[in-house]
Amino acid sequence: MSEGRSDIVVMKFGGTSVAGAAEVKRAARRIVAAREAGSRVVAVLSARGKTTDELVAQALEISERPDSREMDMLLSTGERISCALCAMAIHDMGHKAISLTGSQAGIVTDSSHTRARIIDVRADRIRDKLGEDRIVLVAGFQGVSTESRDVTTLGRGGSDTTAVALAAALGASVCEIYTDVAGVFSADPRIVPGARKLAMASYEEMLEMSASGAKVLQLRSVEYARNHGVRIHCRSSFEDGPGTLVVAEEEAKKETVEQPFVTAVTHSDGEARVTLTGVRDEPGVAGQIFTALAEAGVNVDVIIQNEPVGGNELADLSFTVDRSDLTTATETIAGLGGVSKGVRTDERIGKVSIVGAGMRSHPGVAAKVFEVLGGEGINIEMISTSPIKISCVISAGRVPDAVQALHRAFDLGANAVRPEDPTGAAHRPTVSG
Amino acid sequence: MSEGRSDIVVMKFGGTSVAGAAEVKRAARRIVAAREAGSRVVAVLSARGKTTDELVAQALEISERPDSREMDMLLSTGERISCALCAMAIHDMGHKAISLTGSQAGIVTDSSHTRARIIDVRADRIRDKLGEDRIVLVAGFQGVSTESRDVTTLGRGGSDTTAVALAAALGASVCEIYTDVAGVFSADPRIVPGARKLAMASYEEMLEMSASGAKVLQLRSVEYARNHGVRIHCRSSFEDGPGTLVVAEEEAKKETVEQPFVTAVTHSDGEARVTLTGVRDEPGVAGQIFTALAEAGVNVDVIIQNEPVGGNELADLSFTVDRSDLTTATETIAGLGGVSKGVRTDERIGKVSIVGAGMRSHPGVAAKVFEVLGGEGINIEMISTSPIKISCVISAGRVPDAVQALHRAFDLGANAVRPEDPTGAAHRPTVSG
């Protein structure tokens, strides 16, 4: 997709970027500016500010467990409102616009209401409208199910996926994701004021960052972008200047003289741990547990099993889940009946991760992470690694300290001398182990 | 349609009937009760309470003259929200429901955005869902344009028309319109506390009442019902008991021993009068004026032209319009240039009307109206009649007095002895002239 750049640009504006009339007009001006600069523009909009939360509240006032098909019918209205209003603003600026629902835009999904997956993008109507010199506004987060022609939604953050899917289908030169932050940072600037805005990140790095707590881009949209080669540009809708480009590793490498081996520190403090004590140590038990959790829609993150020691044949099994899934997780385990002697939970669990494509060729990074956290007196309770990520489960209360210490130790700050700086080698942190 | 009564009932709930969670649940209980009583139910819902007004306000914050296609995309969300919420409530009551947008329900319209007309109802999907033993909830007020597949809306009050159109297409036994009033009254009970709830009204009477100020039913929905023979039952969503049945004159007559010759007094105090002085008295001038007004979307109600007297060849032309159309009307007249010497407007204009199918055979009613109003010292400024209606344009400030006097003089009250009462003849008001 990045070859032979087309003149189509997909721009996506999140809820804060269309929250009030002033924000809608600002988004409209950005869209018009892109059109006037010569691009054909498709803009994907989220629901305004707190609209989705308010609609959810209305549903919960009516029903404790709202029907999911009807939930989708309800929630999909928020993005349509944003698109209609933005189209009005663009008309007033002298351009032709048209808003399309997810269904009208050809976003075809499966029938998994409230968390549907896109299975096809039939963008003919968008192409027709672009051909009529219109700016096309598409309601994000939603589609239409292929079987029953019902309105579906893609789950929270699904508008990013809508934008990336449209960019892929239309062969757009770039998918610009506008939010209230200026890009992807080397750490959360609220915790590390000196965090650096990354000029580039590879899909793989961004996937690990999204999975380990970075909230800028929804995980699924990054996967979709990687699979279809869609270049993402994360940027601020409130300031000008470039944000962070998320591209294939080869393109990211070209731009960097020498790749830093650690790119960012991410964190999450909304996790919970479940520990099953005295789990029957026989084949299939773990499979039974995690299959049941998956079927209940619980995303399990880090897992450790302590092998039985001595004559005892019972093991302990711990795993972490999103804190909002804790009740479902414990209910699911209870429903299995007798897989373990006991169940303990800990809701004060956080996670800190370092991510970087360069870690592949720098095997000592893990040891340095443990050393840094140990030096801060932070106890590492669980560890999970990938070739380009190391995550440590720690006490939620120590997360800010851990993020700051790792950011400093790996020299990731805005004022740090970067590895690509010719003199930078001397400043690179020592890797032990 | 009233022959061979089907087991399908269409129920329509207005904005106040779904305003809060409690109201949505109350509507859901009514719907479920009808289903449990053996009917297959299609319910048409309006937007909740002030939702449409709030959406309009959001649009006006963005644009002074919002694009009408986008306005429809925006406004159509309100009814979808109501339907999704009501479906959730019905599910919780143990019944299967499904909400459909106007488009999904097969409401096909022309492309006149914000005031589209229904040109076809393709109710296959509704029939399929009824066949699956589902209660079908349809978003009122909206459809899909046949040419461009865009969301359209039918104009304010359009949900009544949606309900009647579906009742016609499905051959429903009745179309129940639930509102916050108990039915159609012999006068506005806020002005005449002793007003009587009508058990029945003919389509023709209801048309005249809707056209002359009764707000219970939208005019267009009554026309549609008459043209397709749909029986309408106007009733309260907050109390039980029958409301007012609006049916063909033959059916209405069957139920009444002797038809009262006046059925109701209606009024409107939101009118304005435009007087063109010194209009060129030549063929085509009036046509030119009223064609221009029609093209500008101004509904002209009562018209009088004073013929030139003496040697003067210039006439005066007066007409009334809805007060909200006054600016458009005067601008339109000004745009014609030189059709009259001057333009005067009066915004303090009201109208009082009496309506009754029995007036056809009682030619003295008009004289009695003038006598009653004269007796109250109320000046009649313009008059307009039909075979079953007499309207008098009067000062807006005298409207309540006029309504009360006419209601009393024609003996329309709840405690009055009705003509169908065997002893009633003696109580019938004297008809003079």
Taking only the tens of pLDDT, chain A with its 433 residues reads 444 568 999 999 999 999 999 999 999 999 999 999 999 999 999 999 999 999 999 999 999 999 999 999 999 999 999 999 999 999 999 999 999 999 999 999 999 999 899 999 999 999 999 999 999 999 999 999 998 899 999 987 799 999 999 999 999 999 999 998 899 999 999 999 999 999 999 999 999 999 888 888 888 999 999 999 999 999 998 888 999 999 998 888 776 655 568 999 999 988 999 999 888 777 788 888 999 998 888 889 888 877 666 655 678 889 999 998 999 999 999 998 888 888 999 999 999 999 998 888 777 888 899 999 999 999 999 998 888 999 999 999 999 999 999 999 999 986 554 444 333 333 333 333 3
Give A-chain residues touching B151 at CB under 8 angstroms. Answer: 101
Are A87 and B73 in contact (CB < 8 Å)? yes
Within an 8 Å CB–CB cutoff, is residue B19 touching chain A?
no
Strands lying side by side in the sheet with B232-236: B97-100, B135-139, B40-45, B8-13, B174-179, B232-236, B244-247, B200-202
* Pairing between β-strand A8-13 and β-strand A244-247 as defined by DSSP bridges: unpaired
What residues contact residue B219 under an 8 Å CB cut-off, 6+ apart?
B207, B210, B211
Task: Quote the pLDDT of residue B432.
Answer: 35
Q: Which of A26, A74, A104 to mutate to test the interface with B (most CBs of B within 10 A)?
A: A74
Whether residue B18 contacts residue B81, with contact meaning beta carbons closer than 8 Å, is answered with no
> pLDDT tens digits for B200-259?
999 999 999 998 888 888 889 999 999 999 999 999 988 889 999 999 988 887 766 555
Q: What average pLDDT does the structure give for chain B? A: 89
Tell me how far apart the alpha carbons of residues B63 and A93 are, in angstroms, rounded to a whole number: 10
Kindly provide the b/e burial profile for residues B27-36, where b requires at least 16 CB atoms within 10 angstroms of the residue's own CB. bbebbbebbe
Tell me how far apart the alpha carbons of residues B74 and B78 are, in angstroms, rounded to a whole number: 8
Task: Quote the pLDDT of residue B2.
Answer: 42
Are A85 and B69 in contact (CB < 8 Å)? no
Q: Which of A32, A50, A63 to mutate to test the interface with B (most CBs of B within 10 A)?
A: A63
Kindly report the nearest CA distance between residue B225 and chain A, in angstroms: 30
Q: What is the mean pLDDT of residues B14-18?
A: 93
Task: Quote the pLDDT of residue B1.
Answer: 43
Structure tokens at B141: 């007020």
Within an 8 Å CB–CB cutoff, is residue A70 touching chain B?
yes
Whether residue A147 contacts residue A172, with contact meaning beta carbons closer than 8 Å, is answered with no
Tell me how far apart the alpha carbons of residues A44 and A14 are, in angstroms, rounded to a whole number: 9
Task: Quote the pLDDT of residue B340.
Answer: 86
Are A59 and B84 in contact (CB < 8 Å)? yes
Task: Quote the pLDDT of residue A424.
Answer: 33
**To 5 degrees, how large is the angle CA B24–CA B82–CA B139?**
130
* Among candidates B63, B98, B151 on the partner chain, residue whose Cβ is nearest the Cβ of A92: B63
> pLDDT tens digits for A34-57?
999 999 999 999 999 999 999 999
Task: Quote the pLDDT of residue B312.
Answer: 59
Kindly report the nearest CA distance between residue A243 and chain B, in angstroms: 28
Whether residue B223 contacts residue B154, with contact meaning beta carbons closer than 8 Å, is answered with no
Are A73 and B84 in contact (CB < 8 Å)? yes
Tell me how far apart the alpha carbons of residues B406 and B355 are, in angstroms, rounded to a whole number: 11
Q: Where are the beta strands (DSSP E) in A16-159?
A: 40-45, 97-100, 107-109, 118-121, 135-139, 142-145, 151-153
Write the burial class of residue A44 (CB in 10 Å: 0-12 exposed, 13-18 middle, 19+ buried): buried
Q: What is the mean pLDDT of residues B317-328?
A: 91
Q: A254 vs A202, A262, A418, CA distance in Å? A: 11, 17, 16
* Among candidates A21, A62, A74 on the partner chain, residue whose Cβ is nearest the Cβ of B89: A62
Structure tokens at B263: 């059925």
Closest CA to B19 of B27, B30, B11: B27
Rounded to 5 degrees, what are φ and ψ at A227? -65, -30
Give B-chain residues touching A151 at CB under 8 angstroms. Answer: 101
Give A-chain residues touching B91 at CB under 8 angstroms. Answer: 63, 67, 70
Structure tokens at A382: 């669980």
Task: Quote the pLDDT of residue A96.
Answer: 97
Structure tokens at B215: 């707000």
Are A84 and B61 in contact (CB < 8 Å)? no
pLDDT band of B32, cuts 50, 70, 90: very high
Residue B97 pairs in a beta bridge with: B135
- B129 or B249: which carries more pLDDT confidence? B129
Tell me how far apart the alpha carbons of residues A417 and A411 are, in angstroms, rounded to a whole number: 8
> pLDDT tens digits for B333-368?
999 888 888 899 999 999 999 999 888 877 788 889
Task: Quote the pLDDT of residue A415.
Answer: 57
Work out the percent of chain B whose per-residue pLDDT is above 70.
Answer: 91
Structure tokens at B166: 């579906």
Q: How many CB pairs under 8 A join A and B?
A: 99
Work out the percent of chain A whose per-residue pLDDT is above 90.
Answer: 69
In order of their start, the domains of chain B are 8-180 (3.40.1160.10), 275-345 (3.30.70.260), 350-427 (3.30.2130.10)
Kindly report the nearest CA distance between residue A167 and chain B, in angstroms: 23
Tell me how far apart the alpha carbons of residues A59 and A67 are, in angstroms, rounded to a whole number: 9
Are B55 and A89 in contact (CB < 8 Å)? no
DSSP label at B185? B
Kindly provide the b/e burial profile for residues A15-38, where b requires at least 16 CB atoms within 10 angstroms of the residue's own CB. bbbbbebebbbbbbebbbebbeee
pLDDT band of B17, cuts 50, 70, 90: very high
Closest CA to A357 of A228, A226, A235: A226
**If you measure CA to CA, which chain A residue comes closest to B78?**
A77
**If you measure CA to CA, which chain B residue comes closest to A21?**
B62
Scan residues 73-102 of B and list those with Cβ closer than 8 Å to A. Answer: 73-74, 76-77, 80-81, 83-85, 87-89, 91-92, 97-99, 101
Closest CA to B410 of B361, B372, B362: B372
Within an 8 Å CB–CB cutoff, is residue B34 touching chain A?
no
Q: Where are the beta strands (DSSP E) in B37-88?
A: 40-45
The alpha carbon of B353 is separated from its chain's Cα centroid by a whole number of angstroms, namely: 15
Q: What share of chain A is helix, strand, coil (3-state, %, to 5)?
A: 35, 25, 35
Are A89 and B25 in contact (CB < 8 Å)? no
Tell me how far apart the alpha carbons of residues A82 and A87 are, in angstroms, rounded to a whole number: 9
Are B84 and A70 in contact (CB < 8 Å)? yes
Are A67 and B59 in contact (CB < 8 Å)? no
Residue B177 pairs in a beta bridge with: B12, B234
Are A85 and B25 in contact (CB < 8 Å)? no
What residues contact residue A96 under an 8 Å CB cut-off, 6+ apart?
A90, A132, A133, A134, A135
Within an 8 Å CB–CB cutoff, is residue B111 touching chain A?
no
Strands lying side by side in the sheet with B151-153: B118-121, B107-109, B142-145, B151-153
Closest CA to A10 of A103, A145, A105: A105
> pLDDT tens digits for A195-230?
999 999 999 999 999 988 888 888 899 999 999 999
Task: Quote the pLDDT of residue A284.
Answer: 81
Q: Tally the residues of chain A.
A: 433
Other Cβ atoms less than 10 A from the Cβ of B248: the count is 16
Q: How many distinct helices (H) and strands (E) make up chain B?
A: 13, 18
Other Cβ atoms less than 10 A from the Cβ of A114: the count is 17
pLDDT at B428 over 70: no
Scan residues 120-159 of A and list those with Cβ closer than 8 Å to B. Answer: 149, 151
pLDDT band of B126, cuts 50, 70, 90: very high
Kindly report the nearest CA distance between residue B374 and chain A, in angstroms: 52
Tell me how far apart the alpha carbons of residues A249 and A264 are, in angstroms, rounded to a whole number: 16
pLDDT at B45 over 90: yes
Scan residues 370-389 of A and list those with Cβ closer than 8 Å to B. Answer: none
Are A73 and B80 in contact (CB < 8 Å)? yes
pLDDT at B198 over 70: yes
Tell me how far apart the alpha carbons of residues B51 and B61 are, in angstroms, rounded to a whole number: 15
Give A-chain residues touching B142 at CB under 8 angstroms. Answer: none
Total-model pTM:
0.84
Structure tokens at A85: 């209003």
Whether residue B176 contacts residue B11, with contact meaning beta carbons closer than 8 Å, is answered with yes
Q: What average pLDDT does the structure give for chain A? A: 89
Give B-chain residues touching A83 at CB under 8 angstroms. Answer: 73
* Among candidates B58, B62, B89 on the partner chain, residue whose Cβ is nearest the Cβ of A63: B89
* Among candidates B71, B87, B151 on the partner chain, residue whose Cβ is nearest the Cβ of A70: B87
Are A59 and B98 in contact (CB < 8 Å)? no
